[in-house]
């Protein structure tokens, strides 16, 4: 799954904010690199991010979703807003990627209509508050229970639901590592697992000295390693900014694993 951010504060380097034609070309490039899905998002969900209005998000997202869908691309819409999700599906999106985990009743109602697949992600709080001292009694049990409960409430078949433990969304470094290690048990529930670790700040916390940050190159390298490990543990889809390098890493690792590596 290739990331296509149409936000002014994206750290992905897309540089396509408010240039719909350029954003569509970027999405086509991601598919050319090997992406199966292009995940279009018009609202930043990084820690501390502020929400944008429905109208603003619609203006950013819908023309891009429409343009890519018309090219036959499998489009995912990354949004917490039911109205944005609904209009994106009407414009051709085949997957609703809700970082809010269908907690909004209207989003759950939309998911139950079954007009698109859904990705249910776990997030503690919201982007503005999620990294303020997140605590759990048992992070794996709590996240798994939430995801399975939401999935069952949709009434959709398992193959139409992706479960995402929400790495970096209301979790400490240790929480993130525990959830990554638990991918096999989550996958064993029968739902495809979606993992997104690309360029996330926990990589710096894992590898850099306290108070320091990884260089861009080192963060990309760390991303590739964790993506490969996640796939080997049973993730069915990797959400990433750098599709070409992700696939290259997966293919290089394929001879040493017996799991579901792409050819």
- Comparing 35-44, 132-141, 152-161, the range with the smallest average pLDDT is 132-141
With a CB cutoff of 8 Å and minimum separation 6, the contacts of 238 are 1, 194, 195, 196, 227, 230, 231, 246, 250
Position 212 scores a pLDDT of 83
pLDDT at 51: 82
pLDDT, tens digit, for every residue of 11-31?
554 557 678 999 999 999 999
Alpha carbon distance 257, 189 (integer Å): 22
Q: How far apart are CA 90 and CA 166, in angstroms?
A: 26
Name the more confident of 131 and 115: 115
**How does pLDDT run across 212-226, given as a tens digit for each residue?**
888 989 999 999 999
Q: What is the DSSP string of 175-210?
A: HHHHHHHTHHHHHTTSSPBEEE-TT-THHHHHHSPT
Q: Which residue shows structure tokens 């260089």?
A: 215
Mean pLDDT in the chain?
91
Question: Structural domains in the chain?
Answer: 2-252 (3.20.20.20)
Q: Does the CA dihedral 133-144-178-215 come out positive or negative?
A: negative
Quote the pLDDT of residue 17.
63
| Residues with catalytic roles | 200, 239
pLDDT at 45: 76
Give the model confidence (pLDDT) of 33-81 as tens digits. Answer: 999 999 999 998 776 667 889 999 999 999 999 999 999 999 999 999 9
The predicted structure's pLDDT at residue 128: 63
């Amino acid at each position: 799954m290739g990331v296509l951010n149409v936000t002014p504060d994206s750290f992905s380097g897309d540089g396509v904010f408010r240039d719909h034609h350029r954003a569509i070309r970027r999405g086509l490039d991601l598919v050319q690199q090997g992406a199966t899905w292009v995940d279009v998002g018009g609202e930043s969900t990084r820690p501390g991010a502020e929400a944008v209005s429905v109208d603003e998000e619609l203006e950013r997202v819908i023309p891009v979703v429409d343009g890519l869908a018309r090219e036959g691309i499998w489009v995912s819409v990354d949004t917490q807003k039911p109205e944005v999700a609904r209009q994106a599906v009407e414009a051709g999106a085949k997957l609703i990627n809700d970082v809010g985990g269908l907690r909004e009743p209207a989003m759950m109602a939309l998911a139950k209509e079954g007009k698109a697949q859904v990705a249910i992600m776990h997030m503690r709080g919201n982007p503005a508050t999620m990294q303020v001292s997140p605590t759990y009694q048992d992070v794996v049990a709590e996240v798994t229970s939430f995801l399975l409960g939401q999935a069952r409430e949709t009434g959709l078949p398992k193959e139409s639901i992706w479960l995402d433990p929400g790495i970096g969304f209301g979790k400490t470094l240790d929480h993130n590592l525990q959830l990554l290690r638990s991918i096999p048990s989550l996958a064993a529930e029968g739902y495809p697992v979606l993992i997104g670790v690309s360029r996330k700040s926990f990589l710096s916390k894992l590898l850099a000295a306290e108070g320091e940050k990884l260089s861009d190159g080192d963060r990309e390298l760390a991303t590739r390693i964790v993506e490969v490990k996640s796939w080997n543990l049973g993730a069915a889809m990797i959400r990433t900014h750098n599709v070409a390098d992700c696939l290259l890493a997966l293919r290089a690792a394929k001879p040493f694993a017996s799991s579901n590596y792409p050819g």
